[in-house]
Structure 1
């Protein structure tokens, strides 16, 4: 019998059929240079059981609603996605929560939908893309949205999007550009004072914050020079973000993240289904081998419980279905092959 799942995954995506159809009609069959993956609630639960995930806070990845030129259509799609997500969470209590989709860059419509999703649909927070049609988080004109979120002490999941520039041939956006996109948004949120003016918003940065932990001191010097602030104060603002471990709990990235982030600010993330099962196994394994038991327990569950109090008293459910030995072993073998490729640069 499978062990009870325990992890809380704050970085897992949904691709509802109606949303996939709209993207296809717009000629969008990729996100970040990867083909749109298949998704269903059943496949999500199967993957969650495989990784030992009790609850997933799901979200819609890039492009969100930003591919629609008409603001009214974008607002309608955001409402439809949030109604779907709320229904998914209601149908699978304790297994799914969700971050609401907002029709950015329309600030007024986004504030309205954020209030509806948080107040009426019990959303666990909202998703904001790092940039929307070239406008980054932290730019001027977003205060109505920040006020709405701050008043509700909202959790904001910051997810990267394609950079507002042509992709470089041979470099898929998800491999490097996404990390820069998140870093740019974090930089501006600190540089332009959003995190200080709206202190009750909790920002979660995808993929260990992009380059933020690694380049934090360099960025602090630049922001301090630009604004006249103390570099130490800037560093404290940068350390105030939360960070997920999606595709980032590697032997190279994880020590930097843990050395930089405040205690309690690192959360488990899988990036499924855009990250395939083998990648999920590999990076989950990085947590299991690269941390002590107390740190691992905090990242896997207790840090997220503090951020999402409703999960604090939730009984850990047993898997909805047994995870077969064959499925687990197959994923482990695929993860092992991925590890071999990563440590043997000459292999293909």
Structure 2
């Protein structure tokens, strides 16, 4: 029963779709234990697929689309990164096969290795039938609008891919305030930096067919959107003929960790509700924080249902079959 989603439905009456749910394959944890900040959540050390399913059933999540969180797969060696991305993606597809209807996949790729990334995009989308591709906000001090990444973004645009962008903490900003965790400010700020990079480089205008999802209610994007217009490049009108707000309204944003009234009020003042998606950030955060917390956001029942399920189905119709 746990493999079909029936338990989730019977327990809560909800059929949520979680587009921000992380996988920690045992081999990945074993090989990268020293690189993973387990202080974010001790649950990372104990994660199992069944733990995910149990949490999903408890909180009414029918399907979770899995992705790898920071630090990703790139640690300086291209061959190792390529191999790790492939193993992670095949592991996730194996889970989806074992638990029908419960899991999807945003495939990992080995950026900043361009050739390896293009190969893994092809394999993940064409062979594994992944639901989209997962990226980090930055790699080695370069954000996603950097010219070096143009071949990858152009290929994702050609494929009209869904691209899930998860924040990381860039090397520039890990120790700005000694004794204070950079996750407080730098994680949401890196989402904002990469959105600015995509905007000001013209990538969002050029790659109109990518359907981007940004995490945590967009970081500080809703709060600084007007500043992007006021203080952007002098040739901003040429780069963004329809303006900053137009481009920001085309993006999707999830509510993981950003599921509080002030953040959602800021987000809904910028974009329509149909661009907002349910996400939990499990197992870094308890799934119930987002699932049970939606009722505290000041949203109508119709809007909660749209965020919890319908918006994801409009973006990823394949999930209807689950």
Alignment CA distance shift 1:210-1:32 (3 Å): farther
The question of 1:126 aligning with 2:133 is answered yes
1:322 aligned partner: none
Q: How many residues align?
A: 308
Cα pair 2:16 2:309 within 8 Å, conserved: yes
Query: Cα RMSD between the aligned structures?
Result: 1.8
Cα displacement (A) at 1:164: 2.1
The question of 1:184 aligning with 2:202 is answered no
Cα pair 2:252 2:276 within 8 Å, conserved: yes
Alignment CA distance shift 1:163-1:141 (3 Å): closer
For 2:306, what is the secondary structure of its paired residue? helix
Where structure 1 has 5 or more consecutive residues not aligned to the other structure, the ranges are 315-348
2:253 aligned partner: 243
1:92 aligned partner: 99
Q: Return the TM-score normalized by structure 2.
A: 0.90
Cα displacement (A) at 1:231: 8.8
Q: Of the candidates 302, 308, 311, which is equivalent to residue 300 of structure 1?
A: 308
The question of 1:282 aligning with 2:298 is answered no
Cα displacement (A) at 1:222: 2.0
Cα displacement (A) at 1:190: 0.9
The question of 1:64 aligning with 2:72 is answered yes
Q: Return the TM-score normalized by structure 1.
A: 0.84
Cα displacement (A) at 1:4: 4.4
1:194-343 to 2 correspondences below 5 Å: 194-223=203-232, 225-229=234-238, 233-275=243-285, 277=286, 280-289=287-296, 290-314=298-322
Cα pair 2:12 2:59 within 8 Å, conserved: no
Cα pair 1:224 1:234 within 8 Å, conserved: no
**Matched residues in 2 for 1:146 and 1:274: separation?**
28
1:81-160 to 2 correspondences below 5 Å: 81-160=88-167
Cα pair 1:15 1:38 within 8 Å, conserved: no
Worse-superposed segment, 218-227 or 46-55: 218-227
Alignment CA distance shift 1:224-1:142 (3 Å): same
1:328 aligned partner: none
**Matched residues in 2 for 1:11 and 1:75: separation?**
23
Alignment CA distance shift 1:40-1:34 (3 Å): closer
For 2:261, what is the secondary structure of its paired residue? coil
Where structure 2 has 5 or more consecutive residues not aligned to the other structure, the ranges are 1-9
